[in-house]
Amino acid sequence: MADTIDLAALVRGSKVQWDAFVRRYAGLIVSAVRSQAREAGEVEDLVQEVFVRLCKDGYRLLKTYDPTRAGLSTWLTIVARSTARDILRRRQPLTTPYEAVPESALAVTAEPTERIKLPDGLLSPRQKLILTMLYDRDMEVAEIAAVLKVDPQTIRSTHHKAMLKLREHFAPENPAKSGAGRG
Q: For residues 49 and 80, give the distance between their C-alpha atoms in angstroms, rounded to a whole number.
A: 9
**Same domain membership, residue 125 and residue 58:** no
Task: Indicate whether 120 and 71 sit together in one domain.
Answer: no
Cα separation, 87 vs 69, in Å, equals 26
> Which CATH number belongs to the domain containing residue 33 in this structure?
1.10.1740.10
Question: Can you say whether residue 13 is alpha, beta or left, with left for phi > 0 and alpha for psi between -120 and 50 degrees?
Answer: left
| Distance of alpha carbon 102 from alpha carbon 117, whole angstroms | 36
Domain boundary among 91, 126, 161: 91
Gap between the Cα atoms of 127 and 143, Å rounded: 16
Residue 181 covered by a domain: no
Note whether 11 and 86 are same-domain residues: yes
How much is the pLDDT for 108?
58
- Evaluate whether 59 touches 10 at the Cβ level (below 8 Å): yes
Whether 69 is in a domain gets the answer yes
Which pLDDT score, from 0 to 100, does residue 181 have?
Answer: 45
Among candidate residues 56, 76, 91, the one where a domain is terminated? 91
- Which pLDDT belongs to residue 183? 43
Query: What is the domain extent for residue 12?
Result: 7-91
Residues 86 and 15 in one domain: yes
Whether 64 maps to a domain, the answer reads yes
Per-residue pLDDT of the chain (183 residues; tens, 9 = 90+): 345 778 888 888 888 988 999 999 999 999 999 888 877 788 888 999 999 999 888 889 888 988 898 889 999 999 999 999 888 888 765 566 667 767 766 665 555 556 777 888 899 999 999 998 988 888 899 999 999 999 999 999 999 999 999 988 888 765 555 444 444
What is 17-41 written as a DSSP string? Answer: HHHHHHHHHHHHHHHHHHTT-SSTT
Question: For residue 61, how far is the Cα from the chain centroid?
Answer: 31
